[in-house]
Amino acid sequence: MLEGVDRLIDLVGPRTSALSGASEADVVASVGRCDTGSLRATDGHFAVTARDGKTVRLARTIGVPLRYFVAKMYHGPFLVVAQRMDQIFAWCREQRIAWQFDPAYTRMVPAHFVVELDQVGCPDPSPRYHRFFDPAVGLGSSDLNEAGARYIAAAYESVLGWLRTVPIDAPVAVAFSGGVDSTSVLLMAVHANQALGGRADRIRAFTLDLGGGRDAAQAEQVMRALGLDQRWERVSASPADYDLEAAIRVIEDYHPLDVECAASSMCLLRGIRDRYPHLTYLLDGDGGDENLKSYPIEDSDLTLSSILRNPLLYQEGWGVDAIKHSLAYSGGLSRGYVRTYAPAAAQGFNAFSPYTTRSVIEAAVAIPFEQILAGDVSRLSTLKQDVVSAGVKATLGVEMPVNEKRRFQDGATATPRERVSKAWCRRAFNTLWQDRQREAESLDRRSGNEVVPAGGIR
């Protein structure tokens, strides 16, 4: 490998959201020296790349995606870091090495780890993982009032911290279904805004309606019950706007539920953008289901034992050392949050969910689920509403309306849609990239053995 060539290509730079406990520069420095203790002392979100000699370190939290790819140029490896696959592909095209690219060769940095890579030539580097978030499991109170108070207090502080970073006169949209998570986030935003002295109409809730949507009726009812109906808007869209293939292009993934969620989100966000061209800030409740294990496990290969013995399963997947861990996609919400992040970014929104921050996840993980559930799988369907409503009452002093859980993509319509299959989503994803790769095959190629051009890389 030739010396003296800068082989780290960072296409995005450091990014943060509601970061607390350190500055962005501090986080970059901590990642650079693999100081997991300093990273552990922060909260909020970051995605950072740093170099220490021939070692490159990358780290992220759930709320900000980060991806990398090893390209071969000038007798050695180049580490290309980006937010998205298509950013990396575009860079490879510019360098005439698009023929090297395959989406399966890209890697997502798993949330809550520092990933360490040595740029020493061939063979390709093997990543090393260093965890910086390791919350205590099951040591909190089994009293749901106490557990809820701790959980929502942490979430409220996250909302308050995020709002402090938003200009005081800037409007804030809340993606709102009237369900437990979005209702609690709306109430926290309203109270935090009042505490900060923002104008009352600054926080507005928006609900997608693709024709007779149950969420729209539910949301209107909840807003009236809370006396906030003047701050609510229905966003009507045609069912034809619900485009699964477009969602796959935006999120660059093929997990069916995430694709469906993203397709619905794109309809909602386009509607908000059309009405308010300059609105930038967006709150939602993504992550609430994962924190309180509010999923029907009978629809998956999971068992009660598997979710209890893997306390961060829904947030991180099976773990970086597990057979099921996807190098290209990470796992759990670490993978799935792109369903929220990417549609929001595509429409120019700065999106944030308090339920994805580490302080809130820590409060959730502290709940002794095994003791509370006592082997009753059906209790998973009602536990979240009990914890959150109790926490909202304790923290905000509000009796929160509670509605049964419904997926975002289902609530936007009058009747549930037929589930799209993983096989269909995977075919659509593969077709997208096969078309791009086929076009790349016809482009002028640069050999990995080409010498460094005069004046450096171009």
Is the pLDDT at 205 greater than 90? The verdict is: yes
pLDDT for 406 equals 67
Q: Averaged over 429-458, what is the pLDDT?
A: 83
Is the pLDDT at 387 greater than 70? The verdict is: yes
Least reliable range by pLDDT among 101-105, 196-200, 310-314, 435-439: 435-439
Least reliable range by pLDDT among 33-47, 111-125, 300-314, 344-358: 111-125
pLDDT for 124 equals 77
pLDDT for 88 equals 97
Q: Averaged over 233-245, what is the pLDDT?
A: 95
Query: How many angstroms separate the CA atoms of 288 and 184, rounded?
Result: 10
Q: Answer positive or negative: Cα dihedral of 359, 364, 365, 367.
A: positive
Query: How many angstroms separate the CA atoms of 281 and 246, rounded?
Result: 23
pLDDT for 347 equals 97
Q: What are phi and psi of 450, to 5 degrees?
A: -65, 145
Name the amino acid, one letter, at 114.
V
Tokens standing for 271? 């509607």
Q: Averaged over 304-324, what is the pLDDT?
A: 94
pLDDT band, residue 234 (cuts 50/70/90): very high
| 8 Å CB contact between 199 and 170 | no
Nearest to 289 by CA among 342, 353, 210: 353
pLDDT for 213 equals 79
Q: Averaged over 431-446, what is the pLDDT?
A: 89
Q: Averaged over 196-201, what is the pLDDT?
A: 95
Q: Averaged over 391-419, what is the pLDDT?
A: 81
pLDDT for 7 equals 87
> What are the residue ranges spanned by the domains of the chain?
8-133, 144-428
What pTM does this model have? 0.94
Query: How many angstroms separate the CA atoms of 169 and 59, rounded?
Result: 33
- Cα angle for residues 18, 20, 23 (degrees, 5° grid): 100
pLDDT for 328 equals 95
pLDDT band, residue 2 (cuts 50/70/90): very low
Is the pLDDT at 80 greater than 90? The verdict is: yes
pLDDT for 1 equals 41
pLDDT for 5 equals 58
Query: How many angstroms separate the CA atoms of 390 and 397, rounded?
Result: 10
Residue 326 is classified by DSSP as B
How is the beta sheet containing 281-283 ordered, strand by strand?
232-236, 203-209, 172-175, 281-283, 350-352
| 8 Å CB contact between 172 and 193 | yes
Is the pLDDT at 107 greater than 80? The verdict is: yes
Query: How many angstroms separate the CA atoms of 239 and 441, rounded?
Result: 37
Nearest to 108 by CA among 334, 331, 328: 328
pLDDT band, residue 456 (cuts 50/70/90): low
Q: Which CATH superfamily is domain 144-428 in?
A: HUPs (3.40.50.620)
pLDDT for 412 equals 66
Query: How many angstroms separate the CA atoms of 133 and 117, rounded?
Result: 20
Neighbours of 455 (CB within 10 A): 6
Tokens standing for 266? 């794109």
Tokens standing for 330? 């990470």
Query: How many angstroms separate the CA atoms of 64 and 341, rounded?
Result: 8
Q: Which CATH architecture has domain 8-133?
A: 4-Layer Sandwich (3.60)
pLDDT > 70 fraction of the chain, expressed in percent and rounded: 96
Q: How many residues does the chain have?
A: 458
Least reliable range by pLDDT among 60-64, 70-74, 254-258: 70-74
Is the pLDDT at 3 greater than 60? The verdict is: no
Is the pLDDT at 102 greater than 60? The verdict is: yes
